[in-house]
Amino acid sequence: MKMKELLLFLSCVLCVCADVLHEDIAINACSDSDGEFMYGLDGEEKGYADFNKQEFIYPQPPFIDRTTYANPYEQAVANQQICRSNLKIRRDAMKDIPLEHDAPSGVTIYTRDEVEFGVQNTLICHVTGFYPAPVNVSWTKNGQKVTGSSINTPYLNKDGSFRQTSRLDFTPQLGDVYSCAVQHLALAEPLAKIYEVDSSAHSDPGVGPSVFCGVGLTLGLVGVAVGTFFLIKGNECS
Ligand SMILES: *[C@@H]1O[C@H](CO)[C@@H](O)[C@H](O)[C@H]1NC(C)=O
pLDDT tens for each residue of 170-223: 999 999 999 999 999 999 999 999 999 988 766 555 566 677 777 888 888 888
For 102-160, what is the HEC assignment? ECCCEEEEEECCCCECCCCEEEEEEEEEEECCCCEEEEEECCEEECCCEECCCEECCCC
Q: How far is the CA of 135 from the centre of ligand 1 (A)?
A: 8
CA distances 233 to 192, 222, 225, 227, 228, Å, are 72, 16, 12, 10, 8
Q: Take atom 13 of ligand 1 and give the residue whose Cα is closest.
A: 184
Q: How far is the CA of 136 from the centre of ligand 1 (A)?
A: 6
Distance CA 105, CA 107 (A): 7
Q: Take atom 1 of ligand 1 and give the residue whose Cα is closest.
A: 136
Would you give per-residue pLDDT tens digits along the chain (238 residues)?
333 433 333 333 334 445 789 999 999 999 888 899 999 999 889 999 999 999 999 998 888 888 889 999 999 999 999 999 999 999 899 887 788 899 999 999 999 999 999 999 999 999 999 999 999 999 999 999 999 999 999 999 999 999 999 999 999 999 999 999 999 999 999 999 999 998 876 655 556 667 777 788 888 888 888 888 888 888 776 5
CA distances 38 to 25, 59, 117, 153, 191, Å, are 8, 11, 37, 8, 26
Distance CA 167, CA 148 (A): 9
Pocket of ligand 1 (CB under 6 A): 136, 183-185
Q: How far is the CA of 93 from the centre of ligand 1 (A)?
A: 27
Class of domain 21-94: alpha beta
Task: Give the number of the atom of ligand 1 that is nearest the alpha carbon of residue 134.
Answer: 13
Q: Does domain 106-213 have CATH number 3.10.350.10?
A: no
Per-domain residue ranges of the chain: 21-94, 106-213
